[in-house]
Structure 1
Amino acid sequence: MGQDKRIQPILLGSDFNVYGMARAFHEAYGVNSIALASAQLSPTKYSSIVDVRPQAGFNTPETFIKVMRDFIHNHQQDTDTAYILIACGDGYAELVSMFLDELSAFFICPYISHDLHQKLENKKDFYALCDTYNMPYPQTVFVAAEGAGQIDQLVDELPFDYPMVLKPNNSISYLETEFEGKKKAYFIDTAAEMKQVLKRIYTSGYPDEMIIQDMIPGDDTHMRVLNVYVDQHHNVRMMSLGHAILEDPAPAGVGNYLAILPDENDEICRRIKHFLEDIHYTGFANFDMKYDSRDGQYKLFEINLRQGRSSFFVTLSGENMAAQVVNDYVKQVPFEATTYVKGDAVWLGAPKSLITRYVDDEVLVNEVNRLYKAGNYGYTALYKADRSPLRWLQQTYSLYRYYSNFKKYFRKKTL
């Protein structure tokens, strides 16, 4: 591909992840992004750097490919532009993989085949790969939908002690369900509670497996998050490890990080680098893991087949996320060696005063304060080059809303 082509990012979605990628493209190349989505969400509202074009039903295969074909038809004569397709949600990443061959004929598509996507998205298959590649994960039991009638017996025979974690194996089909008390993930304290929640989930029509896992002890400061970019020749070009120190306590936000500090761990990176290159992965990947003090191991929860929601942390640390794709496909910069990002900034997703109030570790609090005082911090959605009064007001309100969320939902996790 010609190195002098104009760059046009096409982002799929309109959420927080989309804004982070739009900001990365704007910071690196001064270009605005186009976002195709099923609806307009608040993180990209009133933005001057991303043009959101809502399309009803865009998250369904039929409408998705129709919209994409129409886009290709309307722009196929524009041979001077490199159209870079970036999925910013699980559903959109799957849709791109479903139509990868067709889309790749026009777009730059840093994604894997649908077969590999399905294998990695399914946690049972992913954990089998973890066994093969010696990547630890929590002790796990799968609950099949067809076994929903035997929930009482299954729960009574679970091989590990409470508290436990309960979460869906298929996050996409789970998103479509509605029922009282719905959460992204559940921290279960008793067998009675486990039975009640499982029955409620399957009564709602959820058709896939649920996952029950041993709860790794420790608060949010035991979490780590790894963002990776693998080039079109399956070389891991960039690895950025972050030390997540606080998560959103609200039911709809479980698993969303609110503060990340830079971190390094050669062993984690070595294992995951070998895994990704050996399976011939392509594109962005994001791993969530937690340190288990019982055996001294970092245990993987999942792989996200896209950049993480908080991946602007990588750009903030000096390694622009958008540049990974541009250097690979547009500028065709040859691979020389993996870049291990060593940042000196704290990424924040909530007010700093709230972070330091709810993080118990004094060393980590002092590090947040040091970086903040030095000006080495950033919020994904607060971008000085995109500062209309309406947008700034809306995003500031979204940040300070976390005070009420913590007051209502926060509970200390077991140490």
Structure 2
Amino acid sequence: MLKFQPVLLGSDANVYGMARSFYTQYGVVSDAVCKGVLVACRNTRLVRIAVVEPDLENDEVFVRTLVDYAKAHDYKNCPLLLVSCADGYTILMARHRQELEPYFHFACPELQTVLDLDIKDNFYKACAAHGLSYPKTATCTARNYKNAEFPFDFPVIIKASNSPAYWNCSFPHKKKVFLAHDRAEYDAITTAIYGSSYQDDLILQEYIPGDDNCMRVLNAYCGLDGKVHLMALGRPLLEEQTPEGIGNYAAILSAPEINDPALLERMRAFLEDVGWVGYANFDMKFDARTGEYKLFEMNPRQGRSSYFVTAAGYNLARWLVEDVLEGKDTGFTIADSESLWMIAPYGVIRKYLKDQTLLATAARLKKQGRCAHQLYCKEDRSLKRGLWYLRSQLNYYRKTARYYGNKGLTD
């Protein structure tokens, strides 16, 4: 069997999902290099916390930390496979490709390509250039937000253009995404944001009507040859409701009828035209008014919920390993099996999913055992992890009830 060591950047649920993919496919425990140890990667046999460096997002520290890690391991005889699990780490990997390549194997786009697509207003420009639909969008800055005008009516979605910078800011009632129903709400939200350390642009966007199940999530892997090798389209059933979790998915359905061949072909052409390499993740919503999928964002990594792809039978780790370490031509695959992925308990899905047809499908898949929980792995059971998992699942009921439907500047 191929000998290698996955090195994952971060320690969140995405890291655990990727580590689980590596363990399922290759029986290997992943090392994590991170700023701090989040709960998803505590008390687990699948992730070994190799380095905790609070200043990891500093360029000089990032390079030094990874090079020191590599020199402390047998990188010449046991290849180190470096995987970004957050936007900022992908940017750092792309920026410091030359310093990292002597020690690590990885799939990463060129720096300018990442910067062109990770910043949301740049991404929308790329969508326009490639004929992809996206919501009507405007931007405001720290200088003009009080007087900003936008060519669409309220309600208005407000979100940061620079995700890494926003992640690191703090202010009362902070949410990942806000929804302003009128100008007074808009003024309060933007004033709160720009009263923090975040001073980059904000995206102002028309609200696309429809429940959470109108969303779609696309994960793709693009090889070192610049070709798309894997695409997996999922239909979210419900989103998380907490301030920091808005926009993250609580449950995703995979099924052949979800696939839209025309959409997938357009997305494949887009990724190959821009020269993408490695994992990519897209969030979009079906707009029943126009019959189009409107793209919201592109993440330069696999998505937080991307374990849904592995759960559907298309192990994300395999495509990376076979491309980067084995040099195999894996062709082109569209995931088309039926499965249910959850990070929230099924009881929350059953209570808040309004579409009865989708709920019946979820119930059937659960009964058939064709479902997977992101943070529960039977090979990773222990008393401490089991107690934490039980508490966290029970907490979903409380959190969802408290925050359901709240995207304003309140708790």
Fold similarity call, TM over 0.5 = yes
Given that 1:25 and 1:33 are in contact with CA atoms closer than 8 Å, whether structure 2 keeps it comes out as yes
Q: Is 1:230 the equivalent of 2:227? A: no
Give the aligned partner of residue 177 of structure 2: 185
Q: Distance in 2 between matches of 1:125 and 1:5?
A: 40
User: Deviations for 1:109-128, whole angstroms, at most 9, x for unmatched residues?
Assistant: 11011111111112222111
User: Deviations for 1:36-90, whole angstroms, at most 9, x for unmatched residues?
Assistant: 0010100010011111131221222222111012123223x54221211001111
- Give the CA deviation at 1:376: 0.3
Give the aligned partner of residue 364 of structure 2: 370
2:19 to 17, 22, 26: 22
Give the aligned partner of residue 64 of structure 2: 66
- Give the CA deviation at 1:147: 2.2
2:131 to 134, 139, 160: 134
Q: Distance in 2 between matches of 1:198 and 1:83?
A: 43
Q: Distance in 2 between matches of 1:92 and 1:303?
A: 15
- Give the CA deviation at 1:105: 2.3
Q: Is 1:119 the equivalent of 2:113? A: no
User: Deviations for 1:80-111, whole angstroms, at most 9, x for unmatched residues?
Assistant: 21211001111211211111122122211110
Identity, in percent, stands at 37
User: Deviations for 1:293-325, whole angstroms, at most 9, x for unmatched residues?
Assistant: 110100000100000000000000101011011
2:277 to 282, 297, 313: 282
Q: Is 1:9 the equivalent of 2:6? A: yes
Give the aligned partner of residue 190 of structure 2: 198
Given that 1:219 and 1:412 are in contact with CA atoms closer than 8 Å, whether structure 2 keeps it comes out as no
Any gaps of 5 or more consecutive residues in structure 1?
none
Q: How does 1:3-402 map to 2 (within 5 A)?
A: 5-52=2-49, 53-75=51-73, 78-148=75-145, 151=146, 153-154=147-148, 157-262=149-254, 263-336=258-331, 338-402=332-396
Report the more deviating stretch, 41-50 or 86-95.
86-95
Given that 1:100 and 1:109 are in contact with CA atoms closer than 8 Å, whether structure 2 keeps it comes out as no
- Give the CA deviation at 1:5: 4.5
Structure 1 residue runs of 4+, over 3 Å off?
A: none
Given that 2:40 and 2:375 are in contact with CA atoms closer than 8 Å, whether structure 1 keeps it comes out as yes
Q: Distance in 1 between matches of 2:391 and 2:226?
A: 42
Give the aligned CA root-mean-square deviation in angstroms.
Answer: 1.4
- Give the CA deviation at 1:412: 8.8
Any gaps of 5 or more consecutive residues in structure 2?
none
Matched length:
403
- Give the CA deviation at 1:136: 0.2
Q: Partner letter of residue 123 of structure 1?
A: K
Q: Distance in 2 between matches of 1:78 and 1:61?
A: 22
Q: Distance in 2 between matches of 1:115 and 1:231?
A: 18
Q: Distance in 2 between matches of 1:375 and 1:5?
A: 31
Q: Distance in 1 between matches of 2:278 and 2:98?
A: 15
